[in-house]
Structure 1
Amino acid sequence: MTVQSAFPIGAAPDKVAFHRTELGVILSLYGQMVAAGEWRDYGISSLRDVAIFSVFRRTAEYPLYRIEKRPKLRGKQGQYAVIGMDGQILKRGADLRQVLRVLERKLIRAID
């Protein structure tokens, strides 16, 4: 009996996607930000080289932040990145929780 893989040996999958554990971490932060009234909507894109979780303040706007996963950068700069609305990379690294900390700081505000 032979077992065939969904992908030939040495071939890369057609699309990059977030794993369930990665989505759990991202959606946990998303829930906190929705509860704080900062974020309202999100979108997920799975492309050939990158998976993107986009965060919106309103549905019809450009994304406030993009959380990107680029597995090809795993050994170099880290496969996760948080990118601002202007295209500036706010944080990049190999650990998703550490990279998302740049957005958690947005929850901390001084109380008047």
Structure 2
Amino acid sequence: MNSITPIPLRAAPDRVAYHRTELALILSLYGRMVAAGEWRDYGISSLKDVAVFSVFRRTAENPLYRIEKRPKLRTRQGQYAVIGTEGQVLKRGHDLKAVLRVLERKLIRAVD
């Protein structure tokens, strides 16, 4: 008798990640800031409770800004946040586009 033993599939660990539309908004801003000479590198982390898009002026430095997505905060202050170098929350909210405006203001100042 030939019996086939099914191989149990390991469930992928639950991780928070950015959706394609969210990344499009972030990368659009990133491209404009790179063109203005403000930002030079980025990193993306998908962790259990948070997805983080880190922005760097130089690769070897600490991030200038972190754009975080925390779905557990969706019903409270909002799942998106922009965090500065010192860990201060610059903007938090439910709408990513509105939260990113705090960084777009810096782009307007850089061009002037």
Q: TM-score range by the shorter chain?
A: 0.7 to 0.9
- The alpha-carbon deviation at position 107 of structure 1 amounts to 1.1
Q: Which has the larger radius of gyration?
A: 2
**TM-score relative to the length of structure 2:** 0.86
Residue type matched to 2:57 in 1? R
The alignment's C-alpha RMSD in Å is: 2.0
Could you tell me which amino acid in structure 2 is paired with residue 93 of structure 1? G
Matched residue of 2:48: which SS?
coil
Q: Flag structure 1 segments of 5+ consecutive residues without an equivalent.
A: 1-7
Quote the offset at 1:108 in angstroms: 1.4
SS state of the match for residue 55, structure 2? strand
| Aligned pairs for 1:21-60 within 5 A | 21-60=21-60
Deviation at 1:57, TM superposition (A): 0.1
Structure 1 residues 95-110: aligned runs within 5 Å: 95-109=95-109
User: Could you say what secondary structure the match of 2:44 adopts?
Assistant: strand
Distance across 2 between alignment mates of 1:73 and 1:25: 20
What is the CA–CA distance in structure 2 between the aligned matches of 1:18 and 1:92, rounded to whole Å? Answer: 16
Partner of 2:80 in structure 1?
A: 80
Runs of 4+ in 1 over 3 A off after TM superposition: none
Deviations for 1:71-109, whole angstroms, at most 9, x for unmatched residues?
A: 000000000000000000000000000000000000112
Matched, 1:16 2:5: no
